[in-house]
């Protein structure tokens, strides 16, 4: 659809990605999105007053202000009050969907400039107690529900996402060794890309708390490039005894190594062209943010390589998927 009318990415920025419970745990998804959005507008030389629409992807809505995330990001960035804001939830594809929806608005001439993105703070996902709002019976055994874990389980079929990955591993004959080898490769690819400065252009450093005041965080916290194959082999499987998914070969897009390897096997993907600078197993996969992160990286990588086309994709809970194609002008 973007071919019908020129739709261009004029600025693409992201925060560094934290680890679960890491240095960014006190930053809400709105805070993180605001930081990245301001940096993207500045990088593209776009005045906030020119923005016609704000679209943000978010899944968990883990903070008190999360239902307002798209609106608050726009207002905090200086986007005019009359400009509409939309928060989209296509699970792990939410970040991609925000960009696709923005392109559709431009193609339909509903907007000229759209501020798009995705954000997530899985560290802030709360615990919940169900069915207490209108009172409980005496002696009721109330249960705390981990909303993060619940969100990673498809209750329609009562299957956690990790079991879906295990099912794919069985169907496509992906071994635990295959998964660990791939996870190790993606960590090493991230390390090489990081050391070469390939992530510098897309990252907007953010201040985080430290023992002696604030420090600037300018690189991803999640990667573990020092991890060896021997260490990975010792990790227990998480979802299935004798299975393939461990804490070392999953990121709870790539999300799980067997999922990526199954897709690569079924489609005959060239591994030398897939996740060339490391993927979510290394960087992390904060649900609604990943599509925006991948797109931002592809934009800068196309420019760096002088390439023509790039494809970003993600698996999505509930048996869905999403992809986006970028062309360098």
Distance CA 306, CA 191 (A): 22
Cα separation, 297 vs 214, in Å, equals 27
| Extents of the domains making up the chain | 2-124, 159-327
Q: What percent of the chain stands above pLDDT 90?
A: 90
How far is 63 from 122, CA to CA, in rounded Å?
10
Q: Give the global pTM.
A: 0.94
The CATH number of the structural domain formed by 2-124 is 3.40.47.10
260 and 234 Cβ atoms separated by less than 8 Å: no
Is 315 assigned a catalytic role? Answer: yes
User: Of these residues, 77, 92, 116, 179, which one is catalytic?
Assistant: 92
First and final C-alpha spacing in the chain = 16
* DSSP alpha helix (H) spans, the chain: 29-44, 69-76, 94-107, 147-151, 161-171, 176-195, 229-234, 257-267, 280-283, 290-305
- Per-residue tens of pLDDT for the chain, all 329 residues: 556 678 999 999 999 999 999 999 999 999 999 999 999 999 999 999 999 999 999 999 999 999 999 999 999 999 999 999 999 999 999 999 999 999 999 999 999 999 999 999 999 999 999 999 999 989 999 999 999 999 999 999 999 988 999 999 999 999 999 999 999 999 999 999 999 999 999 999 999 998 888 999 999 999 999 999 999 999 999 999 999 999 899 875 567 899 999 999 999 999 999 999 999 999 999 999 999 999 999 999 999 999 999 999 999 999 999 999 999 98
CATH number of the 159-327 domain: 3.40.47.10
Catalytic pick from 107, 116, 315, 329? 315
| Domain 2-124 identical in fold to domain 159-327 | yes
Known catalytic residue at 107: no
């Amino acid at each position: 659809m973007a071919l019908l009318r020129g739709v261009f990415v004029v600025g693409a920025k992201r925060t560094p990605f934290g680890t679960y419970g890491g240095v960014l745990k006190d930053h809400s998804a709105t805070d993180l999105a605001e930081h990245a959005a301001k940096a993207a507008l500045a990088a593209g030389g776009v005045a906030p007053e020119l923005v016609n629409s704000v679209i943000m992807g978010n899944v968990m809505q883990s903070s008190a202000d999360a239902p307002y995330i798209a609106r608050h990001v726009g207002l905090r960035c200086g986007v005019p009050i009359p400009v509409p804001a939309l928060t989209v939830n296509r699970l792990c594809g939410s970040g991609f969907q925000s960009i696709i929806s923005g392109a559709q608005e431009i193609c339909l001439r509903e907007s000229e400039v759209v501020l798009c993105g995705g954000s997530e703070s899985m560290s802030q996902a709360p615990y919940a107690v169900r069915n207490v709002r209108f009172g409980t019976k005496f002696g009721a055994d109330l249960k705390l529900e981990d909303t993060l874990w619940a969100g990673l389980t498809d209750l329609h079929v009562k299957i956690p996402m990790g079991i879906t990955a295990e099912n794919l591993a069985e169907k496509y004959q992906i071994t635990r060794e295959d998964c660990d080898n791939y996870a190790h490769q993606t960590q090493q690819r991230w390390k090489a890309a990081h050391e070469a400065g390939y992530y510098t252009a897309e990252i907007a450093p953010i201040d985080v708390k430290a023992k002696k005041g604030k420090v600037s965080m300018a690189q991803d916290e999640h990667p573990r490039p020092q991890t060896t194959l021997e260490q990975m082999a010792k990790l227990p499987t998480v979802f299935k005894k004798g299975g393939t998914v461990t804490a070392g070969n999953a990121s709870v897009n790539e999300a799980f190594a067997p999922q990526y390897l199954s897709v690569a096997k079924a489609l005959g993907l060239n591994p030398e062209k897939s996740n060339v600078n490391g993927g979510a197993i290394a960087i992390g996969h904060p649900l609604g943010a990943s599509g925006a992160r991948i797109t931002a990286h592809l934009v800068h990588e196309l420019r760096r390589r002088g390439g023509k086309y790039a494809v970003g994709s993600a698996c999505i809970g509930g048996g869905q998927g999403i992809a986006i194609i970028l062309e360098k002008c």
